Amino acid sequence: MFGYCYTQLTDVFQEKNGVVDFERGRKLDLARLREIQQQAAAYEDEG
């Protein structure tokens, strides 16, 4: 089983690495992010 955990979805005072900014405005194209996350992992492509 594989996975990841993204613990900070929003920017905060001391860090600016969220998916949305401090005022909850989108920083990324969420549809594109979902498309990327839906792709098969490299180990799954090797048959």
* 8-21: pLDDT as tens digits: 889 998 888 888 89
- On average, the pLDDT of the chain sits at 83
The number of domains in the chain is 1
Does residue 47 have a pLDDT over 60? no
Q: What is the largest CA-CA distance in the chain?
A: 46
Residues 6+ apart with CB under 8 A from 30: 19
pTM of the model: 0.52
Burial class (CB in 10 A: 0-12, 13-18, 19+), 10: middle
Domain that holds residue 45: 1-47
Rounded to whole angstroms, what are the CA distances from 27 to 10, 17, 36, 40?
Answer: 10, 10, 16, 25
- What number of other Cβ atoms are within 10 A of residue 9's Cβ? 10
